[in-house]
Structure 1
């Protein structure tokens, strides 16, 4: 009997429905911005610059995959790089689920490699924390031109560091474990699972690993910020690199904290607002935002869909079995 968790029926419909609804929402946003402005922006960027921009984004994916491998190794589940890469990219297919929760699909696929669910969730949890830390750091690095936003970003950093120190304080985690050890009920079971994930996450956040994974996160997401800057430059929109990095990072933070599917709506609104405040015309700001999301969010979803279909074929039908 396959150990792969069933992904069919209502679960499958909910996941696919989330992706479809997100795509329709993005299409509506694009139409509101005007296809003429978007098509004109594509023409200004050109083919060669477009290839370079996509190349930067793909390289960023590669660095984040290396970080994923570090987490799996820390959890004592070293996987060959090609199967692991296919599983990692398959998770991108469900990036448009709220809070990227659908990327937990990797846990279903990793089960075939005898990776228990708490371990794969610990890797995913560590990845999300690393993403947030990288975005806050990038916002601070590029925030010199936006002093009015600096207190908010610093407050986010302080909150994140405090949360990390609390989550990874063994005494705090052990206290939660003891308080729910003899309780029953759904909430107690949920807390037990959360405690187990936090305990496993300690392995991913030793000082040496934390430095390495943070650098990989900064480089991976920094390449997307650089791609955003190159895109604006190719469109003829001149803003400083530091401003582009800040706008990108704060927009992605807004999308992540909104828990909207793929950050849709919130990330775009903040990006357009900040671009306009930097002196970019509204049509150009909307066009740049649409283009960036096409080569980051929707490129990831497309790649993920391809690799997810490859997973289904390679498992000869076991993917939907139980």
Structure 2
């Protein structure tokens, strides 16, 4: 058995991937793997079930609710669009803070982030492809390899932690809404229990990494499509990310603040669109429904959670008392801004970055952006 000390760097030794160490972690593209055919088949089957069981029955209500489009205030639509764009700007500000010097121009980072988001929304499980593209463009913009990867690690981990905290807050605030409903009480308690389990897992990964690796390998032996080496690599990488955040308290604070702003502005866009269709949602239910839909979107089943997010959020809103038509049109309107809008923006950003790369290749003396 490997002792815990074997998994922790020697005192004073540079941690792999930290800025300034000169250690270059593996390229993100090296970690990309093909999706297993069973996963692809399951994703397609799940999408068909969702469309047939959840979205099609909502179609009639949606058609009736379309009549309310003419009464929507253009100022509310503009407000939702502004909030969505502000959310994207917050994410790029987070990128600028995490990368450190030499930092590319903000407009360059914004185009890189839009390209990243566009790929994630266009490709099922496109995280690895988006990470490889992001890494390549950051390198072309003059970012050191270790800074590019470390920034991505801290940014993604901190952003997901902030989302989890907001979701937990929403669940806690919404429990009283369904105090007489046993189903929702049990569901809410289950969510909080999962978050507590995640906190325990973080403690184990940071305090007892060797035992965590041993447990992960033992679980992998009993699961199909999972190798012991893959499980160990995942646990080691996750533990390293958590320790990386813990050793950078200032960056952790910035990550939390900007990540929370990114999520809250996006959630506010959803609230505005629901209000435009006549149902302003309370803060607790808003965070619950938004957090649930955003977490589901991260599952590598369909591009950007297409179909799955809508199938989860619309019934959740109806359960919180939203009229069926308002819930459907509010979610679809929000997805138009949150999911579909980044696709053409991401394509335009990608083309712009490619043109910039071509110009730099034609002019060797041209400094990076």
TM tier, smaller: 0.7 to 0.9
The residue aligned with 2:91 is: 64
Of the three residues 133, 143, 146, the one matched with 2:175 is 146
Instruction: Determine which structure has greater relative contact order: mean sequence separation of CA pairs < 8 Å that are 6+ residues apart, divided by chain length.
Output: 1
C-alpha distance in structure 2 between counterparts of 1:31 and 1:93, whole Å? 30
C-alpha distance in structure 2 between counterparts of 1:61 and 1:246, whole Å? 21
C-alpha distance in structure 1 between counterparts of 2:316 and 2:59, whole Å? 16
SS in 2 for 1:284: helix
The residue aligned with 1:233 is: 275
C-alpha distance in structure 1 between counterparts of 2:229 and 2:281, whole Å? 51
Q: Structure 1 stretch 251-260 or stretch 54-63: which is displaced more? A: 251-260
The verdict on how the C-alpha distance between 1:260 and 1:107 changes in structure 2, with shifts beyond 3 A counting, is same
C-alpha distance in structure 1 between counterparts of 2:165 and 2:28, whole Å? 37
Q: Is the 8 Å Cα contact of residues 123 and 201 (structure 1) preserved in structure 2?
A: no
C-alpha distance in structure 1 between counterparts of 2:162 and 2:191, whole Å? 12
Deviation at 1:221, TM superposition (A): 0.5
Q: Is the 8 Å Cα contact of residues 206 and 243 (structure 2) preserved in structure 1?
A: yes
Q: Is the 8 Å Cα contact of residues 90 and 304 (structure 1) preserved in structure 2?
A: yes
C-alpha distance in structure 1 between counterparts of 2:68 and 2:261, whole Å? 27
Deviation at 1:227, TM superposition (A): 1.6
TM-score normalised to structure 1 length = 0.73
SS in 2 for 1:142: helix
C-alpha distance in structure 2 between counterparts of 1:280 and 1:192, whole Å? 44
The residue aligned with 2:140 is: 112
Deviation at 1:248, TM superposition (A): 1.0
C-alpha distance in structure 2 between counterparts of 1:277 and 1:243, whole Å? 10
Q: Is the 8 Å Cα contact of residues 134 and 214 (structure 1) preserved in structure 2?
A: yes
The verdict on how the C-alpha distance between 1:30 and 1:56 changes in structure 2, with shifts beyond 3 A counting, is farther
The verdict on how the C-alpha distance between 1:36 and 1:274 changes in structure 2, with shifts beyond 3 A counting, is same
- Cα-Cα RMSD: 3.9
Gaps of 5+ in 1: 12-20, 177-185
The verdict on how the C-alpha distance between 1:268 and 1:203 changes in structure 2, with shifts beyond 3 A counting, is same
User: Could you say which structure has the higher helix fraction?
Assistant: 1
Deviation at 1:52, TM superposition (A): 0.6
Deviation at 1:45, TM superposition (A): 2.9
Q: Is the 8 Å Cα contact of residues 154 and 241 (structure 2) preserved in structure 1?
A: no
Measured against aligned partners, the alpha-carbon deviations of 1:176-216 in whole angstroms (never above 9, x if no partner) come to 7xxxxxxxxx9979977996797577555522221221121
The verdict on how the C-alpha distance between 1:133 and 1:259 changes in structure 2, with shifts beyond 3 A counting, is farther
TM-score normalised to structure 2 length = 0.65
Quick check: 1:92 aligned with 2:117? yes
Q: Is the 8 Å Cα contact of residues 225 and 248 (structure 1) preserved in structure 2?
A: yes
Paired positions, count? 289
C-alpha distance in structure 1 between counterparts of 2:252 and 2:64, whole Å? 43
What are the equivalent positions in structure 2 for 1:8-23 lying under 5 Å apart? none
The residue aligned with 1:127 is: 155
Of the three residues 251, 254, 268, the one matched with 2:310 is 268
Q: Is the 8 Å Cα contact of residues 104 and 143 (structure 2) preserved in structure 1?
A: no
C-alpha distance in structure 2 between counterparts of 1:123 and 1:67, whole Å? 9
Quick check: 1:253 aligned with 2:281? no
Deviation at 1:222, TM superposition (A): 0.8
The verdict on how the C-alpha distance between 1:202 and 1:5 changes in structure 2, with shifts beyond 3 A counting, is closer
The residue aligned with 1:182 is: none
The residue aligned with 2:209 is: 172
C-alpha distance in structure 2 between counterparts of 1:307 and 1:27, whole Å? 31
Deviation at 1:50, TM superposition (A): 0.6
What are the equivalent positions in structure 2 for 1:157-196 lying under 5 Å apart? 157-166=195-204, 172=209
C-alpha distance in structure 1 between counterparts of 2:265 and 2:140, whole Å? 32
C-alpha distance in structure 1 between counterparts of 2:311 and 2:206, whole Å? 34
Deviation at 1:146, TM superposition (A): 3.3
C-alpha distance in structure 2 between counterparts of 1:285 and 1:5, whole Å? 39
The verdict on how the C-alpha distance between 1:316 and 1:272 changes in structure 2, with shifts beyond 3 A counting, is same
Deviation at 1:286, TM superposition (A): 1.7
| Large movers: runs of 4+ above 6 Å | 24-28, 186-194
